[in-house]
A and B are shown apart, each in its own frame.
Chain A
Amino acid sequence: MRKALIGLTVALATLAGAAHAQDKKVTIGVSIPAADHGWTAGVVFHAQRVAKALMARHPGLNVIVKTSPDAATQANALEDLATQGIGALVILPSDPDPLVNAIKRVKGKGVFVTLVDRAPSNNDNSVRDLYVAGNNPALGATAGEYIKSRTPEAMVAVIRGLPIPIDQQRQDGFDKAVAGSNVKVLAKQFGNWNRDDAFKVMQDYLTKFPKIDVVWCQDDDMAVGVLQAIAQAKRTDIQYVIAGAGSKEMVKKVLDGDKLIPVDVLYPPAMVGTALELTVANLYGQVPVRGSYILDATLITKENAKEFYFPDSPF
């Protein structure tokens, strides 16, 4: 009898809880670029990971993750999502400016819009309610500060990404951080955020400069090529390489205490998860989240690396 009573109470409580949770049925549309390189692959992974966790937490919540290879396809995907009746949209635009009108159309229907990472020229509340992004100037600045404090007299070889605004912001942040110090930049070259190109550029740097103290290569993918070129040349003058993003390969090296990769600078693809969490907080927690949420370009060290390590991620 007692057992039955307890069982009944538990069942009732569960039902009540479920009923309460199901009170609010919301669908969130997530529109992100298709995985075409390491970082976007990470975005897709984390969008799906966090969507699953959120749906488990809120039974009434439905998250639809849609990937698109380019801006035009993404505009279509937005329309498809809108017709399915979404309460909120989380979007990481492949190319923000051409997508502004499509996003505004969705917002005009009273949908809560969260914009992630890439901002259009007029990034105000007419386009989105919430803006979540990493900090590109800080990515460069964090690397610059680290080099300045650990090796004040370092001669640094720089490998940039592609000649686009994000790359310029990172470079400016770096230049500002090392300005006026004794850190000397030997050369800057584009490695196109590509392993093979970074390998070649590093090989040529090693031929050109008899002594390099530090390599700043801005991105974890390129660090793979850089490390291989250094290993091949058997050069021992390079004290360390500093990259960025937070790929599992490089975070693992930091965790393992690799001498050449002592730290990494975070520009996390997991920020799409931050955006999703905040959006859900707005819908279910009734907390104000409107505005801009800029993530730090955290320095990943041996001590905190575990927090940023995702062994199952493709990136």
Chain B
Amino acid sequence: MADTLARDTTARRFPIDVDLRAVAPFVALALLLAVGAFANPNVISLDNLLNVATRSAFIAIIAVGATFVIAAGGLDLSVGSMMAFVASLMIMFMNSGVIADPLMMLVAAMLLSLAIGTVCGLANGWITTIGGIEPFIVTLGTMGIFRGLTTWLSQGGAITLRSPEIQNLYHPAYFGAVLGVPVPIIVIFAVALIGAFVLYRTRFGRHVVAVGSNEEVARYSGISVNRVRTVTYVIQGLCVAIAVLLYVPRLGSTSATSGTLWELQAITAVVIGGTALRGGVGRIWGTVCGAFILEIVGNIMLLSNFVSEYLIGAIQGAIIIIAMLVQRSLMRKS
């Protein structure tokens, strides 16, 4: 209660402050697009933007989950490996042929992967909270476990979806479009909308932010800190599974290297989006924008003609830092 009251007065005293912080990542994106259009007009063509938005779906959806985890003061380094693990199990299940009807098989496989994602998240959450171990260490451990299991399942090679019927049936989940909008973009919006509702409009969302900003105070206010934290990891696992549902139809296969370093991209997207890495603040739409920024930076580099292929990493890093500085300076002005 006191918390809400304090925030209300802040909001009243600096009404512009809240607005600018939320707007900052979008300003950075607009600047990037302007620079990009200058480098190559194709950057802002509709086709290119739809391509980039579509392929940012995996990181964006995973990062929505990461927003919850980070806002509650946690961290999840296992998401990239978890994605590869869940995707491998999903494809292996579809290859097993236990259900003859392709449609039923696909539906069952999708439900299965959601269930596995949830269980993986629950494991991360329980080991962190009940085990009382730093989330950094727990998820570093599960990162190795999920990656190892994936490599073992695939014997180091690739796991490929064999049934052409299921492949055809599943293909539109990544490549299809509704009224001209690619399906993955619709899924990003749906996930972000639900995420934003849960974080901003429900009691659980307020508890997440409270736990992240001050664990002790949250505990004394009667919030079950461990339960809130665990649920954030479950949300993360579920988001990873939703990303898997879009990932599998794209190439129809996974390999031991699928999803490497996605955890860092997800964390970067969350931070660019304005969520504090130490917790206490969560910005879902900023996160989605951050994921898009990450992809568009690479895209602009490739479409422009003046950057050597050896320098792309350096320039991507620099642009991310500049985006953060723009954001910071906008906050200071208020």
Contact = CB atoms under 8 A, between A and B. Distances in A.
Interface of A: 34-38, 40-42, 44-45, 160, 163, 188-190, 194-196, 199-201, 203-205, 207-208, 221, 224-225, 228, 232, 249, 313-315
B256 A41 contact: yes
Interface string B37-64: 0001010010110010001000000000
Contacts, number: 90
B256 A35 contact: yes
Interface string B153-169: 01111101000000000
A195 B250 CA distance: 11
Contact of A314 (B40, B154, B250): B154
A189 B309 CA distance: 6
A249 B157 CA distance: 11
A163 B310 contact: yes
Given A195-B251, A208-B42, A249 B257 contact: no
Contacts of B309: 160, 188-190
B297 to A, nearest CB: 12
Given A36-B257, A221-B158, A224-B158, 10 more contacts: A35-B157, A35-B256, A37-B156, A38-B256, A45-B155, A190-B312, A203-B55, A204-B303, A249-B158, A315-B156
A30 to B, nearest CB: 16
Interface residues of B, number: 30
Contacts of B175: 232
B250 A228 contact: yes
Given A196-B251, A199-B250, A225-B251, A35 B51 contact: no
A189 B311 CA distance: 11
Contacts of A190: 309, 312
Contacts of B251: 195-196, 199, 224-225, 228
Nearest to B304: A208
B317 interface: no
Given A36-B151, A200-B298, A207-B51, A195 B255 contact: yes
B157 A42 contact: yes
Interface in B240-286: 250-251, 253, 255-258, 260
Contacts of A205: 302
Nearest to A33: B156
Contacts of A194: 257, 260
B213 interface: no
22 contacts: A37-B257, A38-B255, A40-B156, A41-B154, A41-B256, A189-B312, A196-B251, A196-B258, A199-B55, A199-B250, A199-B251, A200-B298, A201-B302, A203-B55, A207-B45, A207-B48, A207-B51, A207-B303, A224-B158, A314-B155, A314-B157, A314-B158
A200 B255 CA distance: 17
A221 B257 CA distance: 11
Interface in B107-130: none
* A-B pairs, 10 with minimum CB distance: A35-B156, A314-B157, A41-B156, A41-B157, A314-B155, A204-B302, A315-B157, A207-B48, A208-B303, A37-B257
B299 interface: yes
Nearest to B262: A196
A205 B151 CA distance: 31
Nearest to B48: A207
B83 to A, nearest CB: 11
A138 B177 CA distance: 43
A37 B150 CA distance: 11
A314 B255 CA distance: 10
A203 B157 contact: no
Nearest to A207: B48
Nearest to B158: A38
A120 B122 CA distance: 46
B156 A314 contact: yes
Contact of B255 (A37, A44, A207): A37
A204 B299 contact: yes
A205 B309 CA distance: 13
Nearest to B299: A204
Contacts of B250: 199, 228
A35 B42 CA distance: 40
Contacts of B253: 195, 224
A315 B253 CA distance: 13
B6 to A, nearest CB: 45
B145 to A, nearest CB: 14
A205 B298 CA distance: 12
Contact of B55 (A34, A42, A200, A208): A200
Contacts of A225: 251
Contact of B155 (A41, A188, A195): A41
A205 to B, nearest CB: 8
B279 to A, nearest CB: 30
Interface in B123-147: none
B269 to A, nearest CB: 16
A44 B303 contact: no
B157 A38 contact: yes
Most A CB within 10 A of own CB, among B160, B175, B303: B303
Nearest to A206: B51
Given A38-B255, A188-B309, A224-B253, A315 B302 contact: no
Contacts of A196: 251, 258
Contacts of B48: 207
A257 B154 CA distance: 27
Contacts of A203: 51, 55
A160 B309 CA distance: 10
A18 to B, nearest CB: 34
Nearest to B47: A207
B256 A37 contact: yes
